Amino acid sequence: MIGKVLSSDIIKIRRTWIWLLIFLGPFGVVSLQAINFSLRYDYLTKLYADDLWGGLLNNVQYLAAPALLFGITLIASMIAGLEHRLKSWKQLLALPVSRFHVFTAKFALNLILLLSACVLLAAGSILLGAGLGFGWDIPWQRLFIISFYPFFAAMPVLALQLWLSIVMRNQAIPLTCGIMGTILSLYSIKMPDWMPLKWPHLVNAADVPEYSVLAGLAAGAVIYTASLVHFARRDVN
Protein backbone atom coordinates (compact mmCIF):
# COMPACT_ATOMS: atom_id res chain seq x y z
CA MET A 1 0.00 0.00 0.00
CA ILE A 2 2.84 2.40 0.80
CA GLY A 3 4.24 1.52 -2.62
CA LYS A 4 0.98 2.60 -4.29
CA VAL A 5 0.85 5.89 -2.45
CA LEU A 6 4.52 6.45 -3.16
CA SER A 7 4.12 5.83 -6.87
CA SER A 8 1.22 8.27 -6.83
CA ASP A 9 3.41 10.81 -5.06
CA ILE A 10 6.13 10.35 -7.65
CA ILE A 11 3.68 11.29 -10.41
CA LYS A 12 2.78 14.42 -8.51
CA ILE A 13 6.31 15.77 -8.50
CA ARG A 14 6.66 15.45 -12.25
CA ARG A 15 7.62 18.70 -13.89
CA THR A 16 8.35 20.42 -10.58
CA TRP A 17 11.51 22.10 -9.40
CA ILE A 18 12.11 19.33 -6.89
CA TRP A 19 14.17 17.23 -9.28
CA LEU A 20 16.30 20.20 -10.24
CA LEU A 21 16.90 20.96 -6.59
CA ILE A 22 18.12 17.42 -5.96
CA PHE A 23 20.69 18.00 -8.66
CA LEU A 24 21.56 21.58 -7.70
CA GLY A 25 22.41 20.81 -4.05
CA PRO A 26 25.28 18.39 -4.66
CA PHE A 27 26.29 20.31 -7.77
CA GLY A 28 26.60 23.50 -5.74
CA VAL A 29 28.70 21.85 -3.04
CA VAL A 30 31.04 20.20 -5.53
CA SER A 31 31.43 23.31 -7.66
CA LEU A 32 32.19 25.48 -4.64
CA GLN A 33 34.91 23.03 -3.67
CA ALA A 34 36.10 23.03 -7.26
CA ILE A 35 36.54 26.80 -7.01
CA ASN A 36 38.15 26.48 -3.60
CA PHE A 37 40.67 23.93 -4.80
CA SER A 38 41.42 25.54 -8.12
CA LEU A 39 42.04 28.97 -6.56
CA ARG A 40 44.23 27.64 -3.78
CA TYR A 41 45.53 24.56 -5.56
CA ASP A 42 49.18 24.90 -4.56
CA TYR A 43 48.45 25.81 -0.97
CA LEU A 44 45.88 23.10 -0.41
CA THR A 45 47.79 20.33 -2.16
CA LYS A 46 50.76 21.17 0.06
CA LEU A 47 48.55 21.21 3.13
CA TYR A 48 46.98 17.84 2.31
CA ALA A 49 50.09 16.40 0.66
CA ASP A 50 49.86 13.23 2.77
CA ASP A 51 46.22 12.55 1.99
CA LEU A 52 44.90 14.54 -0.96
CA TRP A 53 41.60 12.67 -1.19
CA GLY A 54 41.02 12.90 2.55
CA GLY A 55 41.56 16.64 2.49
CA LEU A 56 39.15 17.06 -0.40
CA LEU A 57 36.48 14.91 1.19
CA ASN A 58 36.76 16.77 4.49
CA ASN A 59 36.22 20.02 2.65
CA VAL A 60 33.25 18.59 0.78
CA GLN A 61 31.74 17.34 4.00
CA TYR A 62 32.15 20.71 5.66
CA LEU A 63 29.95 22.33 3.04
CA ALA A 64 27.67 19.36 2.53
CA ALA A 65 26.26 19.36 6.07
CA PRO A 66 24.56 22.78 5.92
CA ALA A 67 23.57 22.18 2.29
CA LEU A 68 21.94 18.94 3.38
CA LEU A 69 19.97 20.60 6.16
CA PHE A 70 18.84 23.33 3.81
CA GLY A 71 17.94 20.74 1.19
CA ILE A 72 15.89 18.77 3.72
CA THR A 73 13.99 21.93 4.62
CA LEU A 74 13.23 22.81 1.03
CA ILE A 75 12.32 19.32 -0.16
CA ALA A 76 10.05 18.59 2.80
CA SER A 77 8.33 21.91 2.36
CA MET A 78 7.91 21.49 -1.39
CA ILE A 79 6.47 18.02 -1.11
CA ALA A 80 4.01 18.98 1.59
CA GLY A 81 3.39 22.40 0.05
CA LEU A 82 2.21 20.73 -3.13
CA GLU A 83 -0.72 19.26 -1.25
CA HIS A 84 -1.37 22.41 0.76
CA ARG A 85 -1.37 24.69 -2.23
CA LEU A 86 -3.83 22.54 -4.08
CA LYS A 87 -5.83 21.86 -0.93
CA SER A 88 -5.61 18.23 -1.81
CA TRP A 89 -5.07 16.73 1.63
CA LYS A 90 -8.81 16.29 1.94
CA GLN A 91 -9.00 14.54 -1.39
CA LEU A 92 -6.03 12.33 -0.65
CA LEU A 93 -7.21 11.38 2.83
CA ALA A 94 -10.77 10.68 1.66
CA LEU A 95 -9.37 7.90 -0.50
CA PRO A 96 -9.33 4.40 0.89
CA VAL A 97 -5.83 4.71 2.25
CA SER A 98 -4.66 4.89 5.81
CA ARG A 99 -3.02 8.01 7.11
CA PHE A 100 -0.12 5.93 8.28
CA HIS A 101 0.57 5.01 4.67
CA VAL A 102 0.12 8.54 3.39
CA PHE A 103 2.55 9.95 5.92
CA THR A 104 5.06 7.18 5.50
CA ALA A 105 4.97 7.52 1.72
CA LYS A 106 5.77 11.21 2.03
CA PHE A 107 8.64 10.33 4.33
CA ALA A 108 9.87 7.67 1.94
CA LEU A 109 9.70 10.10 -0.96
CA ASN A 110 11.90 12.51 0.98
CA LEU A 111 14.32 9.70 1.74
CA ILE A 112 14.54 8.64 -1.87
CA LEU A 113 15.04 12.15 -3.17
CA LEU A 114 17.65 13.08 -0.60
CA LEU A 115 19.47 9.76 -0.98
CA SER A 116 19.69 10.48 -4.70
CA ALA A 117 21.25 13.80 -3.79
CA CYS A 118 23.76 11.94 -1.59
CA VAL A 119 24.62 9.61 -4.46
CA LEU A 120 25.11 12.60 -6.72
CA LEU A 121 27.35 14.17 -4.09
CA ALA A 122 29.50 11.03 -3.97
CA ALA A 123 29.72 10.92 -7.75
CA GLY A 124 30.53 14.62 -7.89
CA SER A 125 33.29 14.24 -5.29
CA ILE A 126 34.90 11.46 -7.31
CA LEU A 127 34.80 13.54 -10.47
CA LEU A 128 36.21 16.54 -8.66
CA GLY A 129 39.08 14.58 -7.10
CA ALA A 130 39.91 12.94 -10.39
CA GLY A 131 39.66 16.27 -12.18
CA LEU A 132 42.08 17.82 -9.72
CA GLY A 133 44.53 15.07 -10.55
CA PHE A 134 44.37 13.28 -7.20
CA GLY A 135 44.47 9.95 -9.01
CA TRP A 136 42.03 7.06 -8.85
CA ASP A 137 43.09 5.71 -5.50
CA ILE A 138 39.74 6.65 -4.01
CA PRO A 139 39.17 6.07 -0.28
CA TRP A 140 35.78 4.43 -0.75
CA GLN A 141 34.97 4.04 2.90
CA ARG A 142 35.66 7.67 3.65
CA LEU A 143 33.65 8.67 0.58
CA PHE A 144 30.71 6.61 1.79
CA ILE A 145 30.94 8.16 5.23
CA ILE A 146 30.95 11.76 4.07
CA SER A 147 28.22 11.18 1.49
CA PHE A 148 25.67 9.23 3.47
CA TYR A 149 26.41 9.43 7.19
CA PRO A 150 25.46 13.11 7.52
CA PHE A 151 22.08 12.35 6.00
CA PHE A 152 21.36 9.54 8.45
CA ALA A 153 22.55 11.75 11.27
CA ALA A 154 20.14 14.45 10.06
CA MET A 155 17.06 12.18 10.39
CA PRO A 156 15.61 14.11 13.34
CA VAL A 157 15.75 17.27 11.24
CA LEU A 158 14.05 15.53 8.32
CA ALA A 159 11.31 14.08 10.54
CA LEU A 160 10.73 17.43 12.23
CA GLN A 161 10.72 19.41 9.01
CA LEU A 162 8.35 17.00 7.32
CA TRP A 163 5.98 17.10 10.26
CA LEU A 164 6.03 20.90 10.40
CA SER A 165 5.57 21.18 6.65
CA ILE A 166 2.63 18.80 6.62
CA VAL A 167 0.89 20.22 9.67
CA MET A 168 1.31 23.89 8.87
CA ARG A 169 -0.51 25.29 5.91
CA ASN A 170 1.74 28.35 5.98
CA GLN A 171 5.07 27.07 4.75
CA ALA A 172 6.87 30.17 6.04
CA ILE A 173 7.02 28.57 9.48
CA PRO A 174 8.77 25.31 8.57
CA LEU A 175 11.01 27.19 6.16
CA THR A 176 12.04 29.65 8.85
CA CYS A 177 12.73 26.83 11.30
CA GLY A 178 14.75 24.95 8.73
CA ILE A 179 16.81 27.95 7.68
CA MET A 180 17.48 28.92 11.29
CA GLY A 181 18.56 25.35 11.93
CA THR A 182 20.86 25.45 8.93
CA ILE A 183 22.49 28.66 10.12
CA LEU A 184 22.83 27.33 13.67
CA SER A 185 24.38 24.16 12.34
CA LEU A 186 27.28 26.22 10.98
CA TYR A 187 28.25 26.89 14.58
CA SER A 188 27.11 23.58 15.96
CA ILE A 189 30.55 21.97 15.96
CA LYS A 190 31.24 23.90 19.12
CA MET A 191 27.95 22.86 20.71
CA PRO A 192 27.61 19.94 23.14
CA ASP A 193 27.26 16.43 21.74
CA TRP A 194 23.56 16.05 22.53
CA MET A 195 22.71 18.83 20.09
CA PRO A 196 21.03 17.20 17.05
CA LEU A 197 22.26 19.95 14.74
CA LYS A 198 25.80 18.85 15.50
CA TRP A 199 25.24 15.26 14.42
CA PRO A 200 25.41 15.82 10.63
CA HIS A 201 28.98 17.04 11.12
CA LEU A 202 29.78 13.59 12.54
CA VAL A 203 31.85 15.20 15.27
CA ASN A 204 31.63 13.88 18.81
CA ALA A 205 33.77 13.49 21.91
CA ALA A 206 34.43 9.83 21.22
CA ASP A 207 35.38 10.65 17.62
CA VAL A 208 33.27 7.80 16.29
CA PRO A 209 31.07 9.05 13.39
CA GLU A 210 28.77 6.04 13.84
CA TYR A 211 27.65 7.43 17.18
CA SER A 212 26.30 10.53 15.47
CA VAL A 213 24.54 8.33 12.92
CA LEU A 214 22.98 6.11 15.57
CA ALA A 215 21.82 9.09 17.60
CA GLY A 216 20.33 10.59 14.45
CA LEU A 217 18.50 7.42 13.47
CA ALA A 218 17.12 6.90 16.97
CA ALA A 219 15.96 10.49 17.46
CA GLY A 220 14.58 10.52 13.91
CA ALA A 221 12.52 7.40 14.63
CA VAL A 222 11.11 8.93 17.80
CA ILE A 223 10.08 12.18 16.10
CA TYR A 224 8.71 10.29 13.11
CA THR A 225 6.55 8.08 15.34
CA ALA A 226 5.26 11.02 17.36
CA SER A 227 4.38 13.03 14.24
CA LEU A 228 2.72 9.99 12.69
CA VAL A 229 0.47 9.61 15.71
CA HIS A 230 -0.38 13.29 15.56
CA PHE A 231 -1.09 13.19 11.83
CA ALA A 232 -3.34 10.16 12.15
CA ARG A 233 -5.50 11.82 14.76
CA ARG A 234 -5.82 15.31 13.43
CA ASP A 235 -8.81 16.84 11.65
CA VAL A 236 -8.37 17.70 8.02
CA ASN A 237 -9.86 20.98 6.95
Partner 1 sequence: MSEYIIQTQGLTKQYGARKAVNQVTLNIRRGDIYGFLGPNGAGKTTTIRMLLGLIRPSQGRIHIFGKDLHKHRMSILKKVGSLVEYPSYYGHLTGYENLEAIRRILDVPKSRIDEVLSIVRLTQDAKRPVKGYSLGMKQRLGIACALLGQPELLILDEPTNGLDPSGILEIRELIKSMPQQHGITVLVSSHLLSEVEQMANRVGIIQHGEMVFQDTIDSLHNRAQHRIQIAVSNPEQAFRTLASSGCSAEFNEESLVLDYMPDNKVAAIVELLVRNNHSVYRVEEKRQSLEEMFLALTREGSRQ
Q: Is 49 in the site for partner 1 (CB under 8 A)?
A: no
Q: Is 82 in the site for partner 1 (CB under 8 A)?
A: yes
Burial of 191 (0-12, 13-18, 19+ CB in 10 A): middle
User: Nearest-CA neighbor of 151 among 112, 183, 205?
Assistant: 112
8/45 with CB nearer partner 1 = 8
Burial of 72 (0-12, 13-18, 19+ CB in 10 A): buried
Q: Is 229 in the site for partner 1 (CB under 8 A)?
A: no
User: Nearest-CA neighbor of 18 among 114, 138, 128, 91?
Assistant: 114
Instruction: Work out which of 42, 50, 207, 235 binds partner 1, going by CB under 8 A.
Output: 235
Which x/- pattern over 9-48 shows residues binding partner 1 (rule: CB under 8 A)?
x-xx-xxx--------------------------------
Near partner 1 in 105-124, by CB under 8 A: none
User: Nearest-CA neighbor of 69 among 160, 169, 140?
Assistant: 160
84/142 with CB nearer partner 1 = 84
Q: Is 4 in the site for partner 1 (CB under 8 A)?
A: yes
Q: Is 98 in the site for partner 1 (CB under 8 A)?
A: yes
Instruction: Give yes or no for a contact between 113 and 22, defined as CB atoms under 8 angstroms apart.
Output: yes
Positions in the binding site for partner 1 (CB under 8 A): 4-5, 7-9, 11-12, 14-16, 82, 86-88, 90-98, 233, 235-237
